[in-house]
Amino acid sequence: MDERNFTYMFYGFGVTWAIIAIYVMILAGREKGIQKQLESLRRILEDKK
């Protein structure tokens, strides 16, 4: 492979994969938070009943 500008190509690829990875982490974190809220609300409702 022609190695001219390889570093910048690497930055471009890195940014792409990093944005995808960060978004996966955001989704996973949100999923965890939502499940936690759901569980705690269900528990509160059970207690109140």
User: To the nearest whole angstrom, how small is the minimum distance from the Cβ of residue 33 to another protein?
Assistant: 9
DSSP string covering 12-45: HHHHHHHHHHHHHHHHHHHHHHHHHHHHHHHHHH
- Quick check: helix, strand or coil at residue 4? coil
The position carrying tokens 């990093």 is 18
User: To the nearest whole angstrom, how small is the minimum distance from the Cβ of residue 19 to another protein?
Assistant: 5
Segment 7-26, which members bind another protein (CB under 8 A)? 8-9, 11-13, 15-16, 19-20, 23
CA angle centred on 28, ends 11 and 30, rounded to 5°: 115
User: To the nearest whole angstrom, how small is the minimum distance from the Cβ of residue 32 to another protein?
Assistant: 11
Site residues for another protein per CB under 8 A: 1-6, 8-9, 11-13, 15-16, 19-20, 23, 27, 30-31, 34-35, 37-38, 41-42, 44-45, 48-49
